[in-house]
Structure 1
Amino acid sequence: MKALAAGWLTFVVYFFFKDSLLSKSNLDSAPITALLLVWLLGVILWCAFAVIVAADHLAEMLGEPFGTLILTFSIVAIEVMLISTVMLGGGAPTVGRDTMFAVMMIVLNGVIGLSLVIGGLKHHTQDYSLPGASAYLSVIIPLVTIALILPSVTHSTDEATLSTTQAILFAGATIVLYVVFILIQTGRHRDLFVHGPIEEHDVPDPTARQIGKWVAMLVAGALPIVLLSKSLDKVVDAEIKAIGAPGALTGVLIAMIVFTPEGISALKAASRNQLQRTVNLCLGACLSTLGLTLPAVLTIGLITGEQVILGLDPTGIVLVVLTLLLSMVTFSGPRTTVLEGAVHLLVFFVYIVLVFSP
């Protein structure tokens, strides 16, 4: 409740005093901009944690793999809304690409790497469902290629964008593939995404009132994030210009906002030797980001006429290919160790260095 109060109170303050807080004199001052950034980021992250708490309660009521899906959908919904707000503000044609790329690198290298190191140090080796991880990767690989690599090599446009026809067809195909995967995950092949025999949900069936309560809490926590996103975008842009940071940092910040709570859940699961949950959270988040963000970004571009640059530069393409190859090797056997985690963390370190020094 404190997070919700802080989020809505901050929104009220910015609603009535936005012109004063975000005045040109304030945004031109690096210290003041930094304070505003810390304030907004802190409140938005706090609200994001509140969303995860609500989603986690719903997850416990509904069981796996539905619980993980609820967590993932909640995070991706916030991500799409943040990206949409920034795009509709104009002047950010690469924010969708930068965010999807950042989520992929943070999740597949940073969080998975740290999870495998923590789990390996504590439990030596950890088990998970190999067919489930393979199923995730079999969908992630083509979606990453379509979203981040293909636009860089097509010839229908002069820049790393898709033509109108390509955007419509690729957005539709992406949604279809994602829906097929969800049906497989929650239907006939549910057992692939649960390590060991499927345990029946042993808690009392939730009432409509209980579900409604946590759905309301989830929405109440998500709304301040969306309502404050435009102000955050202005502050981030001002701070980036003040310190001379690269524009791609906006995508990194969005990715951190939306995935930090879920990332902490993944790390806790690995520490408790629940690597399957970590795999479901991380690979599921990466898959949902690509499967839902790409169509959303393309749709916004088609409706508003805003340019949507998706293709990565050669450096980004190399990191994507390296990450996919490494993920295939890591999840090619039924057990993981500290070594795989250390390698993933190395690639994540390289990515962070290249964000600030491309």
Structure 2
Amino acid sequence: MSRPSWTTLAPVVALVVLVPAWFAHPESPVVLGVLALLLVGAVLAAVHHAEVVAHRVGEPYGSLVLAVAVTIIEVGLIVTLMVTADKDASGLARDTVFAAVMITVNGIVGISLLVGALKHRLAVFNPEGTGAALATVIALAVLCLVVPSVTTSEPGPEFTGAQLAFAAIASLALYGMFVFTQTIRHRDFFLPVEQGQHTPTVMSSGGGDSFEHAPVDLDEDGHADPPTDRAALASLGLLVVSLVAVVGLAKIESPAIENGVAALGFPQAVVGVVIALLVLAPETIAAVRAAARNRVQVSLNLALGSAMASIGLTIPAIAIASIWLEGPLELGLNQLQTVLLLLTAAVAILTVVPGRTKPLQGGVHLVLLASFLFLTIAP
């Protein structure tokens, strides 16, 4: 009888340890260090099981599964911290969502393009699907993170109750329309293409859409055959266990993170950045692996899908939670953050339009990520 692999043991052990640690509130540096190691193991296990599920269901469903699962965990973590935080948490949702957008659109996209272009000379993807995803992300980000700073009905960077409800409904509508487009109406636009292959072009010939060249079938790329239904279901269950362990352990580690941020004299917004980095770690690793295998479209699906879900699902959930949460809910970005967001949007548009990139474009996005991180610490 074969022994369980580490990807099976890591999330189970992390979840088992999480239960007593959740009630014990450990403060010992040694214990917190062990929990941090278990957190890393759970993150790596989540990557593995997400890739198994993604291989079984195929693209773009696999990317969607991971993006939605991680965003659900992100929402749970934000709400939990807002309820239990000792310090002012009115801007935690904004800081975490904005950090998620900057990390995905600059960090995950940047490193994926850089890895793909360095290893395969050019990083090739489908501009129709990627452009649609980017347009949705920009619309959501401006509507939910920029508009609150310029409305006049409520003082400060806040929505009124009616405005927040409208933003939540609009976010769900945009996200729902994109998911329909990605998985049903124009699924081909989100499948990877190979170098030298033309991207799909719509032919107007009276009937439905047709394509000159269809994207490649990922199941014929020489990799292992898709896992069985039983293996995929097991990985799906272990993915859920891994993500629960990640959010639980991150919650336990959060006081140490907050104290560390305060001890270093960093702004409170850095806490949101750390949360986003922890939550997005599985998707980052999965995206880099996909780019190394010349599946850059999968990487972009993960990155932009995560950014979109971080706004389109988090804002409605926070809007509902705000009914019970006490205190203000600040969603509007300041001037510096707005400039960084608009610069990111402009650069991302120029990156997506050609449908292929050199290492330079990946480097530009990574510099923007570094600028965001540095200016968050030293605004």
User: 1:135/1:240 Cα in 2 relative to 1: closer, same or farther (>3 Å)?
Assistant: same
Alpha-carbon separation, structure 2, partners of 1:306 and 1:160: 14
User: 1:313/1:220 Cα in 2 relative to 1: closer, same or farther (>3 Å)?
Assistant: same
Alpha-carbon separation, structure 1, partners of 2:39 and 2:226: 33
Q: State the partner residue of 1:300.
A: 321
The answer on 1:132 being equivalent to 2:129 is yes
Alpha-carbon separation, structure 2, partners of 1:205 and 1:17: 39
The answer on 1:277 being equivalent to 2:278 is no
Task: Pick the aligned partner of 1:69 from 54, 64, 67.
Answer: 64
Which has the larger helix fraction? 1
Q: Percent identity?
A: 33
Q: Which moved more, 1:225-234 or 1:258-267?
A: 225-234
Q: State the partner residue of 2:288.
A: 267
Q: State the partner residue of 2:11.
A: 4
Please state whether the residue corresponding to 1:187 is helix, strand or coil. Answer: helix
The answer on 1:102 being equivalent to 2:102 is no
Task: Give 5+ residue unaligned stretches, structure 2.
Answer: 1-7, 194-213
Q: State the partner residue of 1:228.
A: 249
Letter in 1 for 2:24: F
Query: Is the CA contact (8 Å cut-off) linking 1:37 and 1:236 kept in structure 2?
Result: no
Structure 1 segment 206-355 matched on structure 2, within 5 A: 206-207=228-229, 209-355=230-376
What do the CA deviations read for 1:252-276 (whole angstroms, capped 9, x no partner)? 1111111112111211222222111
The answer on 1:14 being equivalent to 2:21 is yes
Letter in 2 for 1:169: F
Alpha-carbon separation, structure 2, partners of 1:216 and 1:334: 36
Q: State the partner residue of 1:186.
A: 183
What do the CA deviations read for 1:271-325 (whole angstroms, capped 9, x no partner)? 2221111111111111111111111122211232442111111000000000000
The answer on 1:86 being equivalent to 2:81 is yes
What is the RMSD computed on CA atoms of the aligned residues?
A: 2.1
User: 1:112/1:14 Cα in 2 relative to 1: closer, same or farther (>3 Å)?
Assistant: same
Query: Is the CA contact (8 Å cut-off) linking 2:46 and 2:238 kept in structure 1?
Result: yes
Alpha-carbon separation, structure 2, partners of 1:147 and 1:38: 36
Query: Is the CA contact (8 Å cut-off) linking 1:300 and 1:306 kept in structure 2?
Result: no
Q: Which moved more, 1:213-222 or 1:168-177?
A: 213-222
Alpha-carbon separation, structure 1, partners of 2:288 and 2:105: 13
Query: Is the CA contact (8 Å cut-off) linking 1:85 and 1:229 kept in structure 2?
Result: no
Letter in 2 for 1:66: Y
What do the CA deviations read for 1:5-46 (whole angstroms, capped 9, x no partner)? 44124314414532xx34xxx6xxxxx4xx565444432232
Alpha-carbon separation, structure 2, partners of 1:149 and 1:82: 23
Query: Is the CA contact (8 Å cut-off) linking 1:97 and 1:311 kept in structure 2?
Result: yes
Query: Is the CA contact (8 Å cut-off) linking 1:44 and 1:257 kept in structure 2?
Result: no
The answer on 1:195 being equivalent to 2:216 is no
Q: Which moved more, 1:5-14 or 1:110-119?
A: 5-14
Alpha-carbon separation, structure 2, partners of 1:151 and 1:77: 24
Query: Is the CA contact (8 Å cut-off) linking 1:164 and 1:302 kept in structure 2?
Result: no
Q: Which moved more, 1:2-11 or 1:341-350?
A: 2-11
Letter in 1 for 2:128: P
Query: Is the CA contact (8 Å cut-off) linking 2:70 and 2:280 kept in structure 1?
Result: yes
Q: State the partner residue of 2:114.
A: 117
Please state whether the residue corresponding to 2:353 is helix, strand or coil. Answer: coil
